[in-house]
């Protein structure tokens, strides 16, 4: 027991006990959603630490003062609770609930249990920052399409011994849309790499897609899949992926873009704008297709094909506000700096 603890009034002990329960319950709701709903073990660890720290402050003297039968507020509900239909609403409500309870602990614990008051204050301030990360994580899970609309730079990976470090540098710089592309690796290697990158992207609240392979996207719980013209038809991919994940499609002419829209794709790639070793033998489509897509496409489109910082202005002048790149980041001497320069040129906020 804390040496400074006194027991001035049973009412204060009951108040502290009730708010310790309230704060710990709120933290547990958040922790379980991060564990089972978001699969964000980094957030789980942070919440568990706060909850356990608070649990160590929940002294037997507080629990002994508990008397639920005489608590006139026990079991009371509010109509607002019935309106919490989305996970993000539950997260916001329980973060607020925990923060309010922590403030009560801070105020009423100051006289009799200063250690509790200090810990409650520290946890409350930590939870303010953590709540922002939680809301962003919920947005990534429930609003993939809204997040896609905010993305103007799309990183597509290529095989590299520094794959993880390169993607991490791009994410740190502010990239929030990544596609894993590995044509030659065997399935086990692809699965390991995709799983690691998916977890990395999740820690930054970034969208993660898999090239071609719907099965691999499902196996690693990716945010979606990108399909070429020779891959599984989007309608079949949608049946497997469900309604919430993203589907992108490569297109080389306006007829293919129209078909992708009709098939329910969430975005399209437009290109290749220039000749590129990523698509050997593919005839570049030039800027005319960018202009056509800008005039007609009702869904986001990403210009792709040999693009880098020096080749952005003509694409932007043609109406292309979003670009997908490979070598401009993966082969840069400083992937983070290259990502920041591209993001700045595209006007995307990090």
Rounded distance between C-alpha atoms, residue 213 and residue 181, angstroms: 9
Nearest CA-CA partner of 325 in 289, 286, 285, 271: 271
Measured over all CA atoms, what is the biggest interatomic distance in the chain, rounded to whole angstroms? 83
Contact assessment for residue 265 and residue 248, using Cβ atoms and an 8 Å cutoff: yes
H or E segment to which residue 269 belongs: strand 267-270
279 is catalytic: yes
What residue spans of 209-265 are helical by DSSP H?
Answer: 214-219, 234-241, 254-262
DSSP letter assigned to residue 284: P
Catalytic residue among 40, 46, 181, 213: 181
Catalytic residue among 279, 322, 339, 340: 279
Q: How many other C-beta atoms are found inside a 10 Å radius of the C-beta of residue 313?
A: 10
Contact assessment for residue 124 and residue 106, using Cβ atoms and an 8 Å cutoff: yes
Please report the DSSP string for 77-124 in residue order. Answer: --GGGGG--SHHHHHHHHHHHHHHHHHHHHHHHHHH-HHHHHHHHHHH
Catalytic residue among 124, 250, 297, 339: 250
Please report the DSSP string for 120-189 in residue order. Answer: HHHHHHHHHHHHHHHHHHHHHHH-HHHHHHH--EEEE----TTHHHHHHHHHHHT--EEEE--SSS-HHH
192 is catalytic: no
Left if phi > 0, otherwise alpha if psi is -120 to 50, otherwise beta: which for 305?
left
Enzyme catalytic residues: 181, 250, 279
């Amino acid at each position: 027991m804390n040496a400074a603890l006194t027991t001035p009034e049973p009412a204060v002990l009951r108040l502290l006990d009730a708010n310790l329960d309230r704060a710990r319950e709120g933290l547990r709701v958040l922790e379980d959603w991060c564990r089972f709903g978001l699969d964000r073990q980094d957030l789980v660890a942070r919440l568990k630490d706060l909850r356990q720290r608070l649990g160590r402050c929940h002294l037997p003297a507080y629990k002994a003062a508990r008397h639920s039968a005489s608590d006139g507020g026990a079991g009371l509900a509010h109509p607002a609770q019935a309106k919490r239909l989305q996970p993000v609403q539950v997260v916001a409500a329980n973060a607020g609930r925990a923060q309010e309870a922590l403030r009560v602990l801070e105020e009423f614990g100051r006289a009799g249990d200063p250690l509790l008051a200090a810990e409650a204050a520290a946890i409350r301030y930590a939870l303010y920052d953590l709540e922002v990360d939680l809301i962003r994580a919920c947005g990534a899970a429930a609003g993939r399409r809204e997040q896609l609309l905010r993305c103007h730079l799309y990183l597509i990976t290529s095989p590299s011994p520094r794959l993880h470090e390169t993607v991490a540098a791009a994410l740190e710089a502010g990239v929030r849309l990544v596609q894993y592309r590995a044509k030659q690796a065997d399935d086990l290697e692809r699965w390991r790499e995709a799983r690691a990158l998916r977890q990395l992207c999740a820690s930054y609240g970034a969208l993660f897609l898999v090239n071609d392979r719907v099965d691999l996207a499902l196996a690693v719980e990716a945010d979606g899949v990108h399909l070429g013209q020779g891959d599984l038809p989007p309608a079949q991919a949608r049946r497997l992926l469900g309604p919430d994940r993203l589907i992108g499609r490569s297109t080389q002419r306006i007829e293919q873009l129209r078909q992708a829209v009709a098939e329910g794709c969430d975005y399209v790639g437009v290109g290749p704008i220039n000749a590129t070793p990523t698509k050997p033998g593919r005839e570049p489509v030039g800027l005319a297709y960018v202009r056509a897509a800008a005039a007609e496409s009702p869904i986001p489109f990403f210009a792709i094909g040999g693009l880098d910082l020096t080749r952005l202005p003509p694409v932007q002048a043609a109406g292309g506000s979003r670009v997908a790149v490979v070598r401009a980041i993966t082969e840069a001497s400083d992937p983070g700096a290259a990502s920041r320069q591209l993001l700045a040129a595209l006007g995307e906020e990090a």
